[in-house]
Structure 1
């Protein structure tokens, strides 16, 4: 009797998604074949379609899961740190550590995979851009609060300072994608924080 099609016995969807994420992370969407995905995930093409819908939908879920997990760095730092400076330093240092984690591919998935996808991934890239903009908006609000509270000079350009932090973040991501070690990224964070505007005197 022919067994029914579908997921293999013992199928772990989260584990399969992690394996797919690693491939997309290191090879990008277009550079990852369906055969490579099914081999890494330990499932058949029919099981992949049953569990995730399509290669594109699998990629979208992998990128969105990663982006939301990373966003927790912003959310927790802004909510828990007492000053905007401390929040920014925590965001940048945690990002540098995340980009160079030993148990994950180097760099940032949203930069190394999502941003270089093909036509099929345009919607994904736009969604990631919106998530990153939400991070920037939250940071801008925290910096505005710091100005109102007297933590930063009233002359501070909130937009420019927010953009500065985001530029450093993107730079750390690009450096890690190029293979820069964690120590070098943390040195950049230290230099970036030295340029943080001093409080009113």
Structure 2
């Protein structure tokens, strides 16, 4: 989404040139973090998935947390890009938020990736040693809500959302639905169930914002 990423720069390679595809290694690391969570992922898990040894990992990506932050940026630039485009390009706020929820009802169950949303799921709990990771993910989660709010405020300015609507509350509601769908997917909900949740939330729009006149 539109949150300004704090992506960590990769540590410059030392010694012999890399003999692996960095972008592919990053994608594989993303999948491991997404499936197991930040604390549940070890360096050995990462090196096994990425097909590199630990010196190569540290040389290319820095520490585990730096690698993790790069995977979050990668997630947003690839899998997260479609949802942001829907939010930006749909002609009304209602259509934009509906498109995001309907999109997530599909992708949260995509068999080609871990279920749910990486940003919602990978670091909701934390120890003192991983507080910075939790706070980093919390910023991303709040950024989604900020994007919803900005789109509703744009709808007010453009006349498809009534003046006086509490954009903050409506955005928080739909972001909560979005988070809940991610958790439902991780717990095994199928596309039909997630679609039903999305449609119920979409049908609540008029009650939340009122009808434009």
- The answer to whether TM tops 0.5 is yes
* 2:110 aligned with 1:101: yes
Partner of 1:199: 211
- Aligned residue for 1:116, secondary structure, equals coil
Choose from 170, 183, 191 the match for 1:182.
191
8 Å contact from structure 1 (residues 56, 120) kept in 2: no
Please list the CA deviations of residues 113-141 of structure 1 after superposition, one character each: whole Å capped at 9, or x if unmatched. Answer: 23234444322332332233333223212
Structure 1: gaps of 5 or more residues: none
Could you say which residue in structure 2 is the equivalent of 1:164?
A: 173
Cα displacement string for residues 57-115 of structure 1 (whole angstroms, at most 9, x for unaligned residues): 21222123224445424431232111111000111111222211111011111222232
What pairs with 1:142-157 in structure 2 (closer than 5 Å)? 142-157=151-166
Structure 2 segments unaligned to the other structure (5+ residues): 1-13
Residue in 2 aligned with 1:54? 63
User: How many angstroms apart in 2 are the aligned matches of 1:190 and 1:64?
Assistant: 29
Supply the distance in 2 between the matched residues of 1:98 and 1:133 (Cα, whole angstroms): 20
Secondary structure at 1:166 match in 2: helix
Provide TM-score, normalisation by structure 1.
Answer: 0.86
Match of 2:29 in 1: 20
Distance 2:129 2:77 in 1: 21
Measured at CA, do residues 17 and 93 of structure 1 come closer, stay the same or move farther in structure 2, by a change above 3 Å?
Answer: same
Distance 1:157 1:110 in 2: 26
Distance 1:145 1:32, change over 3 A: closer
Give the TM-score taking structure 2 as reference length. 0.81
The alignment status of 1:141 with 2:145, answered yes or no, reads no
- Greater Cα radius of gyration, structure 1 or 2: 1
Q: Which of the pair is proportionally richer in helix?
A: 1
Could you tell me whether the CA contact under 8 Å between 2:120 and 2:141 is conserved in 1?
no
Maintained 8 Å contact 1:24/1:59:
yes
Q: Distance in 1 between matches of 2:17 and 2:40?
A: 25
Q: Are the structure 2 counterparts of residues 184 and 6 from structure 1 closer, same or farther at C-alpha, using a change threshold of 3 Å?
A: farther
Tell me how large the CA RMSD over aligned residues is.
2.3
Distance 1:116 1:141 in 2: 28
Asked whether 1:122 is paired with 2:157, we answer no
Task: Give aligned pairs, total.
Answer: 197
Aligned to 2:6: none
